[in-house]
């Protein structure tokens, strides 16, 4: 069973309106109000302190999510990246990965096993994504097969290919595991590729949030968003 989060339009529900947050104030009284269904009257009236790019200031949450889908959602057979997070123990790490996914244009994030995560770490950017919850690894495998995604595990187990030389698949479901033990045996059994970030120091592994940022960026560098989509933004 897969559950998906539902965007909430009301800015009162946007928990990223924190004290001391950097943003913009109310729309200037001496300027005409912008016109369009994407604008939120309450944000125009009270200001917008959310962690969003300037292009999306004063927009409704649902309108931002819909626009990101328009710009970044891939069609059948087109390059796409989705990520999965398996049993990550530190909630802040999960939130950090979700925030990175949003910033680098990932539209679908899967949480396998452990459901709780720190929304503060995500800066509530999870509300602009499509979150999927899978109680079991086999549920993720079924989803990947239906979407024709190659499951790529990011871990430093023996036999892993180095990220700096590997050709990542155009349709990838990238999986990150628990901080100390990595991907579980069940998850390892469904992997189609295993990739690692080469390290040159004495530490055995990177923080999972940092590793996710490097890995997602590497895929996005190979498969940038379609220029035609961005030109219409």
Pick the CATH number of 80-227 from 3.40.50.2300, 3.90.330.10, 3.30.360.10, 3.40.1280.10: 3.40.1280.10
CB 68 within 8 A of CB 107: yes
Confidence of residue 20 (pLDDT cuts 50, 70, 90): low
Q: Can you give the residue ranges of every domain in the chain?
A: 11-15+24-72, 80-227
Q: Which pLDDT value is given to residue 9?
A: 38
**In angstroms, rounded to a whole number, what is the distance separating the alpha carbons of residues 122 and 101?**
10
Residue 3 has pLDDT above 60, yes or no: no
Residue 181 has pLDDT above 90, yes or no: no
- Total-model pTM: 0.82
CA distances from 9 to 61, 72, 78, 176 (A): 5, 21, 30, 31
Name the average pLDDT for the chain.
Answer: 85
What is the pLDDT averaged over residues 173-189? 91
Q: Which pLDDT value is given to residue 79?
A: 95
Percent of the chain with pLDDT over 70: 83
What is the pLDDT averaged over residues 121-134? 81
User: Residue 208's closest CA among 155, 129, 169?
Assistant: 155
User: Residue 50's closest CA among 88, 83, 12, 80?
Assistant: 12
User: Residue 64's closest CA among 52, 73, 81, 76?
Assistant: 52
Q: Which pLDDT value is given to residue 179?
A: 75
Residue 19 has pLDDT above 60, yes or no: no
């Amino acid at each position: 069973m897969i559950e998906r989060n539902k965007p909430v339009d009301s800015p009162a529900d946007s928990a990223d309106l924190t004290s001391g947050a950097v943003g913009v104030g109310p729309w200037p009284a001496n300027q005409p109000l912008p016109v369009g269904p994407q604008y939120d009257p309450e944000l125009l009236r009270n200001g917008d302190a959310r962690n969003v790019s300037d292009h999306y200031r004063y927009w409704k949450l649902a309108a931002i999510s819909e626009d990101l889908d328009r710009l970044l959602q891939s069609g059948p057979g087109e390059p796409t990246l989705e990520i999965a997070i398996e049993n990550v123990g530190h909630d802040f790490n999960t939130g950090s990965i979700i925030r990175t996914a949003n910033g680098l244009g990932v539209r679908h994030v899967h949480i396998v096993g452990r459901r709780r995560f720190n929304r503060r770490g995500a800066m509530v950017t999870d509300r602009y994504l499509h979150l999927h919850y899978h109680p079991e690894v086999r549920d993720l495998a079924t989803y990947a097969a239906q979407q024709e995604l190659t499951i790529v595990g990011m871990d430093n187990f023996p036999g892993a290919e180095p990220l700096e030389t590997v050709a990542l698949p155009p349709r990838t479901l990238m999986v990150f595991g628990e901080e100390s033990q990595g991907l579980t045996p069940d998850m390892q059994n469904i992997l189609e590729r295993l990739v690692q970030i080469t390290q040159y120091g004495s530490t055995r592994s990177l923080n999972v949030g940092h590793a996710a940022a490097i890995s997602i960026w590497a895929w996005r560098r190979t498969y940038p968003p379609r220029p035609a989509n961005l030109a219409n933004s």
